[in-house]
Chain A
Amino acid sequence: MYEFITGFMFWLALGVCLIGMAVRTILYFKGLRWNLDRVAYRAYPARGFKGAIRSIYKWILPFGTHGWRKQPFMAVLFFSFHIGAVFVPLFLLAHNLFLKEKLGFSLITINGGVADFLSWLVIITLILIILRRLALPEVRILTNWYDYLIILISAAPFITGLLARYEVGNYSFWLLAHIISGEILLFAIPFTKLSHIFLFFASRAQLGMDYGIKRGGLRGTVMDW
């Protein structure tokens, strides 16, 4: 069982995620139409590129935009969650030992204390994000079961990972549950809203090109995000 989950299933999940997202990202950019979107993407590649990079950069910078500064509570939640959700899976020591064994290479790693802190941060911010969804009428009206499913898929690897890490009950069980939930997450990425892991960059790049070319960029105006 463990062999199958960490062997075939791991490769399958990773493959589906990476190939799926590569395909989706390519299709996204192939689907941009200068005449329908009314943005001359091809005519001004350098302007477009600059606009795209700026639009991404400003928004991944904590408090880098008017939007983030206007909603500091949401900004703190957003960045705390995403820092944990990106750093822990990629840079946890145990993950990298696994990676080294499977792929023959590993990434830089973070120490155990930081990993614990970030994992708890993910759990706490997700709880706050759920409470925010329930509490604010303007968010509640947008929320449906699908949003909770996405939160569940995202939270499961962290919850099971922490249970395994603190050896609550049966370690092997939680480890297996952790790996399975991680693989479910990988499978889900290309086919759900989780595709935003990649498409966030694509969509931000598009609006950046729009402003970088058409909505002022050609005149030399730098958008004040």
Chain B
Amino acid sequence: MPEGIFCNKKPIETQEELTALLGDTSGTQYYKEMKELDIDTKLLWTTIQNTCKSRIRTWLEICAHCGMCADSCFLYLVNDRDPKQVPAYKIQSTLGEIVKRKGNVDNEFMRMAMETAWAKCTCCNRCGIYCPHGIDVGIMFGYLRGLLYQQGFVPWELKIGAGMHRVYRAQMDVSEEEFVETFQWMVEENEEEYPGLTVPVDVENADIMYTVNAREVKHYPEDLAEAAILFHAAGENWTITSKGWEQTSLAMFAGDWAACKMQVENVYAAMERLKPKRMVGTECGHAHRATVVEGPYWAGRQDGRPPVECIHYIEWLAEALREGKLKIDPERRIKVPVTLQDSCNYVRNHGLREVAREILSYIVEPGYYREMSPNREHNFCCGGGGGFNGIGLFRPQRNKGLITKRDQILATGAELVIAPCHNCWDAIRDLEEEFEIGIKWSFLKPLVVSMLELPDHMKPEE
């Protein structure tokens, strides 16, 4: 059977297709069909010839097989130093083989490559900074994911995720109306406590256009309220956009580059339409990576920059605290041992290594902050990055992958882990569920809201 009903080379384009694929619970039929899926070897090889240029080809060729990347990979470390988890081995035995065989690989090979690309690498890019030759295996796995996606070998959830972006321009089935209504509803809920709280919609020339992660709308709407409270307290001239409000990109995890482009262009169109001074994105790592770091390239912007200056939420928060726009009640600062999870996507991959630490210097009582080891750009992945968190088929591998972070956290003695990234936040929640080490975890917004010294205009009337 060349193409399955669910598992095939065709991306999801319509709501009906999405509903149908979602109906195949856990992808049971999808994965069954995958075993029969043919490989278009000609397409595979043509794609490689057109897109695999000197950078990746040289990486594959000059790898000295020295194994120095092994220790840099958390999945190698937690899997009892299984040699098959050495980054160089993982990429040579998948992408390296496909290139060597000029695309002539079979179904079984492709399924092995899929498992390697999504369950043995989170594209955290840590190995790249430990390789003497500067070979970044994470980048190559990102590339391999694109080849696999094109051939239909992609985990069920990510085919759905990429489809969501194609249909809704959001990672979940949240429409533009639902987004605006949810935001407005959450603001109304908090109006009494925070007088004057509003959510400006589609205001042109605002100082800030705020973008979010769709799951805040769907599952964590209090996050939207907290964002509004903090912008309001800081006296910001801000707005949300009814179109192009979703900052994330599961299409990036899936390797669906066409959907990545569609998604990010939608956000950029909002910037061009509303002309804000800056865009501020929510506390999410991959959303920042997708819209701010990689997005300009998908959208064909040669200067590598989005249409307006885009900053991560932690950059805005640090600035607001530094400039005194937000004031912290010193009495309510964090007084338990606390640590910080550096997100790969904006720390290692966008250099934001000191920003969150500055915030913590304002909100943590001196003496309570504990650094993880290693940290900053050398920090390990949370264990669930690159889509790993969301793939049911690879849940056991993901759970094992959480051990590194668990042990890093335990070594700090922290009771609270601050994770300004949705993926990291999820992984840390899951590791607490899995291993019960007695920690709490949090984004920054709720913590800051809870210790805010309200300006006079926001104090509830007596």
**A positions within 8 Å CB-CB of B:** 27-40, 42-44, 55, 59, 66-67, 70-71, 74, 78, 133, 136-144, 147, 193, 195-196, 199-200, 202-204, 206-208, 210-211, 213-221, 223-225
Complex-state Cα separation, A112 to B131, whole angstroms: 35
Q: How far is the CB of B57 from chain A (nearest CB, A)?
A: 8
Please indicate which of the listed interface residues A36, A138, A213 has the most CB atoms of chain B within 10 Å of its own CB: A138
The stretch of B68-76, B172-180, B277-285 in contact with A is B68-76
Chain A positions within 8 Å of B297 at CB level: 34-35, 38, 40
Complex-state Cα separation, A144 to B40, whole angstroms: 30
Q: How far is the CB of A3 from chain B (nearest CB, A)?
A: 36
Residue B16 at the A interface, CB < 8 A?
no
The answer to whether A27 touches B54 (Cβ under 8 A) is: yes
Residue B304 at the A interface, CB < 8 A?
yes
Chain B positions within 8 Å of A206 at CB level: 55, 134
Q: How far is the CB of A189 from chain B (nearest CB, A)?
A: 12
* Top 5 closest pairs, chain A to chain B, by CB: A216-B351, A31-B54, A221-B351, A40-B304, A207-B134
Complex-state Cα separation, A7 to B302, whole angstroms: 50
Chain B positions within 8 Å of A39 at CB level: 304
Chain A positions within 8 Å of B70 at CB level: 138
Task: Please tell me the number of chain B residues within 8 Å of chain A, measured between CB atoms.
Answer: 54
Complex-state Cα separation, A35 to B297, whole angstroms: 6
Please indicate which of the listed interface residues B81, B86, B133, B351 has the most CB atoms of chain A within 10 Å of its own CB: B351
Chain A positions within 8 Å of B349 at CB level: 215-216
Residue B330 at the A interface, CB < 8 A?
no
Residue B19 at the A interface, CB < 8 A?
no
Residue B331 at the A interface, CB < 8 A?
no
The answer to whether B300 touches A142 (Cβ under 8 A) is: no
The answer to whether B58 touches A224 (Cβ under 8 A) is: no
The answer to whether B68 touches A216 (Cβ under 8 A) is: no
Residue B293 at the A interface, CB < 8 A?
yes
With A31-B57, A78-B132, A215-B351 given, can you name 8 additional A-B contacts, CB distance below 8 Å?
A37-B55, A43-B302, A144-B65, A193-B64, A203-B59, A216-B351, A223-B129, A224-B378
**B positions within 8 Å CB-CB of A:** 51, 53-55, 57-59, 61-68, 70-72, 76, 81, 83-84, 86, 88-89, 92, 128-136, 293-294, 296-298, 300, 302-305, 348-353, 376-378
Chain A positions within 8 Å of B63 at CB level: 142
The answer to whether A221 touches B61 (Cβ under 8 A) is: no
Assess A36 versus B62: contact at CB under 8 Å? Given A43-B304, A66-B130, A142-B89: no
Chain A positions within 8 Å of B133 at CB level: 196, 200, 203-204
The answer to whether B68 touches A32 (Cβ under 8 A) is: no
Complex-state Cα separation, A59 to B297, whole angstroms: 29
Chain B positions within 8 Å of A215 at CB level: 293, 348-351
30 A-B contacts (beta carbon < 8 Å): A27-B54, A31-B54, A33-B53, A37-B55, A38-B294, A38-B297, A40-B303, A40-B305, A43-B302, A43-B303, A67-B72, A70-B71, A71-B68, A136-B67, A137-B83, A138-B76, A139-B66, A142-B88, A199-B58, A202-B58, A203-B133, A204-B134, A207-B128, A207-B134, A208-B134, A216-B352, A216-B353, A219-B351, A223-B377, A224-B376
The answer to whether B129 touches A137 (Cβ under 8 A) is: no
The answer to whether A141 touches B84 (Cβ under 8 A) is: yes
Chain B positions within 8 Å of A223 at CB level: 129, 351, 377
The answer to whether B68 touches A67 (Cβ under 8 A) is: yes
Chain A positions within 8 Å of B131 at CB level: 67
Q: How far is the CB of A222 from chain B (nearest CB, A)?
A: 8
Chain B positions within 8 Å of A219 at CB level: 350-352
Other-chain residue from A36, A133, A195 in contact with B61 (beta carbon distance below 8 A): A195
The answer to whether B377 touches A70 (Cβ under 8 A) is: no
The answer to whether A203 touches B71 (Cβ under 8 A) is: no
Complex-state Cα separation, A138 to B293, whole angstroms: 33
The answer to whether A140 touches B83 (Cβ under 8 A) is: yes
The answer to whether A32 touches B132 (Cβ under 8 A) is: no
Chain B positions within 8 Å of A30 at CB level: 54
Q: How far is the CB of A160 from chain B (nearest CB, A)?
A: 24
Chain B positions within 8 Å of A218 at CB level: 304-305
Q: How far is the CB of A173 from chain B (nearest CB, A)?
A: 33
Please indicate which of the listed interface residues A32, A137, A200, A207 has the most CB atoms of chain B within 10 Å of its own CB: A207
Assess A224 versus B377: contact at CB under 8 Å? Given A40-B302, A195-B61: yes
Complex-state Cα separation, A27 to B53, whole angstroms: 10
Q: How far is the CB of A155 from chain B (nearest CB, A)?
A: 15
Q: How far is the CB of B254 from chain A (nearest CB, A)?
A: 17
The answer to whether A138 touches B86 (Cβ under 8 A) is: yes
Complex-state Cα separation, A125 to B343, whole angstroms: 39
Q: How far is the CB of A76 from chain B (nearest CB, A)?
A: 13
Chain B positions within 8 Å of A204 at CB level: 133-134
Please indicate which of the listed interface residues A29, A216, A223 has the most CB atoms of chain B within 10 Å of its own CB: A216
Q: How far is the CB of A87 from chain B (nearest CB, A)?
A: 19
Complex-state Cα separation, A207 to B133, whole angstroms: 9
The answer to whether B81 touches A137 (Cβ under 8 A) is: yes
